[in-house]
């Protein structure tokens, strides 16, 4: 199976309410930035208390909305994987369920990144300890210690790259099952890659292409104030595209299995 990129770009149009759903999502993204106008205006009062009273609710609002948006993307991808002939996009009305799914996605994502986070914190601690030692004993700089830091940094970079390479795979696994542990279920995830490596390479390339396309379009939209307002809508649209290409990858393995 080859990816149908044109379908990924246009499938949402088969839902008669796609425009309203797209605009609603864009409005939510826009609201997460607009809400911080109030903390900025509160700085004019010169009161730190007033700033906190506006900033903290803004942060909470930002987190809750993005949890719902994450859940919405997960629900969209899950529907496309499990009901590929159904092109009806999820509604935004069931906000609580979307936020709950967004929480599960976030926890799974953090669990997946845990090795990188732990190694990163260890590397940071080693660097701080090493630099403080160098500052106090500059004349006795340990070459071996420096080489160790370089090797540790290279290992951390390799781990980060490896984690990012397989991130679309683990995301797709979560989209399919909507379970937190799906983000770290390597056995289940790699079954999708077994004898399907070429399609996964296409998936990574499409992720990169979609990201670059988004950045290019955003750069043009930023040229005008009206264009800036439409950037949140573009982001929701890109999320629809990502949901579809992840679904196509998951379905490519299912189709391959059924043929065998």
Q: Would you give per-residue pLDDT tens digits along the chain (260 residues)? A: 568 889 999 999 999 999 999 999 999 999 998 999 988 888 887 788 888 889 999 999 999 999 999 999 999 999 999 999 999 999 999 999 999 999 999 999 999 999 999 999 998 888 877 666 555 554 445 666 677 778 888 999 999 999 999 999 999 999 999 999 999 998 888 888 888 888 899 999 999 989 898 989 998 888 887 788 899 999 999 999 999 999 999 988 766 655 55
> CA angle, corner 59, sides to 102 and 109, nearest 5?
30
Predicted pLDDT of residue 35: 92
pLDDT at residue 254, as a whole number? 65
Q: How far apart are alpha carbons 231 and 30 in whole angstroms? A: 8
- Looking at residue 11, its pLDDT comes to 95
d(CA 203, CA 168): 8
Give the per-residue pLDDT at 192.
Answer: 87
Query: At what angle are helices 167-177 and 197-221 packed, to 10 degrees?
Result: 100
Nearest CA among 29, 56, 86 for reference residue 244? 86
Model pLDDT, residue 115? 94
Q: What is the pLDDT of residue 248?
A: 93
- Cβ-based neighbours of 118, under 8 Å, separated by 6 or more: none
Q: Which helix (H) or strand (E) holds 178?
A: none
The runs of H, that is alpha helices, within 83-166 are 95-136, 143-165
Joined together, the tokens standing for residue 10 give 């246009």
> pTM score, two decimals?
0.88
How many Å apart are CA 172 and CA 183, to the nearest integer? 9
CB 199 within 8 A of CB 208: no
Contact 111, 173 (CB under 8 A): no
Q: What is the pLDDT of residue 140?
A: 47
Find all residues with CB under 8 Å of 173, minimum gap 6, and list them. 182, 183, 185, 188, 189, 192
Cβ 173 vs Cβ 182: under 8 Å? yes
**Between vectors from CA 71 to CA 68 and to CA 77, what angle results, nearest 5°?**
145
Q: What is the pLDDT of residue 133?
A: 56
Give the H/E segment covering residue 214.
helix 197-221
Torsion angles phi and psi, residue 43, rounded to 5: -65, -20
Instruction: Tell me how far apart the alpha carbons of residues 20 and 26 are, in angstroms, rounded to a whole number.
Output: 10
Separation CA 137–CA 165 (nearest Å): 40
DSSP state of 44: G
- Domain count of the fold of the chain: 1
DSSP single-letter state for residue 223: T
CB contact at 8 A, 90 and 77:
no
Domain enclosing residue 113, as ranges: 5-259
């Amino acid at each position: 199976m080859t990816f149908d990129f044109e379908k990924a770009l246009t499938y949402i149009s088969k839902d008669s309410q796609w425009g309203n759903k797209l605009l609603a999502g864009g409005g939510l993204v826009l609201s997460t930035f607009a809400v911080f106008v109030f903390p900025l205006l509160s700085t004019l009062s010169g009161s730190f208390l007033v700033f906190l009273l506006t900033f903290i609710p803004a942060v909470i609002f930002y987190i809750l909305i993005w949890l719902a948006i994450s859940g919405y993307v997960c629900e969209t991808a899950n529907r496309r994987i499990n009901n590929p002939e159904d092109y009806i996009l999820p509604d935004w009305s069931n906000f609580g369920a979307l936020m709950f799914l967004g929480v599960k996605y976030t926890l799974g994502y953090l669990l997946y990144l845990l090795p990188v986070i732990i190694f990163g914190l260890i590397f940071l601690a080693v660097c701080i300890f090493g630099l403080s030692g160098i500052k106090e004993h500059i004349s006795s700089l340990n070459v071996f210690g420096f080489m160790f830091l370089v090797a540790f940094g290279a290992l951390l970079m390799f781990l980060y790259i490896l984690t990012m390479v397989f991130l679309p795979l683990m995301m797709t696994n979560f989209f399919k099952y909507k379970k937190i542990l799906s983000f770290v279920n390597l056995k289940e995830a790699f079954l999708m890659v077994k004898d399907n490596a070429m399609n996964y390479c296409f998936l990574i390339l499409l992720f990169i292409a979609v990201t670059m396309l988004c950045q290019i379009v955003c750069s043009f939209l930023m040229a005008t104030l009206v264009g800036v307002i439409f950037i949140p809508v573009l982001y929701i649209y890109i999320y629809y595209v990502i949901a579809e290409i992840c679904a196509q990858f998951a379905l490519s393995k299912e189709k391959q299995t059924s043929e065998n």
